[in-house]
Amino acid sequence: MDLSKILSISGKSGLFQVVSQLKNAVLVESLLDKKRFPAFAHEKISSLEEIAVFTATEEKPLKEILKAIYDKLEGKPALDAKSDNKLLQEFFLEVVPDYNSERVYISDIRKIISWYNLLLEHQLLDFTEKEEEKSEEEKSEEKKEETAEEAPVVKPLAKKKKPTEKKAEGEVVSGKKKETAVKKKTKKNPL
C-alpha cells in the first residue's frame, strides 16, 4: 500500500489520488466522485504517508493505525464516522490503546475512520506489500553479508608527503609552495 500517492487537501472533503505533476501544481483525482482538478502549492496538501497520530510515548504512523483497524475488523468496513462521540472514542481506544486523548481530537478520529472506509471501498488497503518488502530486505542483507565475507579488505593508500629541501640561504621549498625569506639590510643614516 503506497500512501504517498494519496493526499488530503485542507478545506476539501475526502481523499485524492495523485494523477500527475504539472508545472506549478499537482493533478489529483477525487476518490469520492472521480473528478480531476489541479491542487496548487498554496493549498495545504498532506500525503497520508506523512500523517501520524500522537500516542503516550511517540507518534504512530497512519499506516500502522489503518493496519490495526483492518486487522481488528478483519477487512470489513468500520463504523460510520458520524456515529456517537463516545462510540468512536471507545473504538479508537481498542485499536490504538495508547493514543493521547488530549492531543487527538474526536474530529481526528472521525477523519481517520472515514479515510479507512474510503480506502477500503476503493480497494487501496493492501498490507501484503510490507511483508514482501521485509523478505526482500532480508535477502539483500544476506547478499551483502556474503559479499562482505568474500571480498578482500582493501586499505586506502596514505598520501606521501614531499620532503622539505633547503636551496639557498633564506629560500625554502615545501611541496608546491615557495617561500622566500629575505633579510633586509638596514642602512645607517649619518645624521
Q: Which residues of 107-128 are buried (b: 16+ CB within 10 A; e: fewer)?
A: eebbbbbbbbbbbbeeebbeee
**Res 92 pLDDT > 90:** yes
Task: Please tell me the predicted confidence (pLDDT) of residue 191.
Answer: 55
C-alpha torsion sign, points 72, 14, 45, 6: positive
Percent of all residues in the chain with a pLDDT value above 90, rounded to a whole number: 51
Range of the domain at 17: 3-47
Looking at 60, 95, 121, the residue that finishes a domain is 121
Residue 31 CB partners (closer than 8 Å, separation 6+) = 6, 14, 15, 16, 17, 118, 119, 122, 124
Residue 11 within any structural domain of the chain: yes
Q: Give the chain's domain count.
A: 2
What is the rounded average pLDDT of the residues 49-73?
A: 92
Tell how far CA 155 is from the center of its chain. 34
The answer to whether residue 140 sits within a structural domain is: no
Confidence of residue 41 (pLDDT cuts 50, 70, 90): confident
68 within domain boundaries: yes
The pLDDT tens digits for 117-176 are 999 999 888 877 555 555 555 555 555 555 445 555 555 565 666 555 555 555 555 544
Give pTM, 2 decimals. 0.66
What's the CATH code of the domain at 108? Answer: 1.10.10.1650
| Cell, residue 145 | 553479508
Q: Indicate the residue among 100, 121, 142 that finishes a domain.
A: 121
Asked if residue 79 is part of any domain, the answer here is yes
Residue 18: the pLDDT is 94
| Helix or strand holding residue 112 (H, E) | helix 106-121
CA 31 to chain centre: 24
Q: CATH code at 24?
A: 2.30.30.730
Mean pLDDT computed over every residue of the chain:
79
> What would the mean pLDDT of 70-91 be, rounded to a whole number?
90
Please report where in the chains the cell 629541501 appears, as a residue: 165
3-state secondary structure (DSSP) of residue 86: helix
The whole-number pLDDT of residue 180 equals 47
Residues 43 and 100 in one domain: no
Assess whether 7 and 35 both reside in one domain: yes
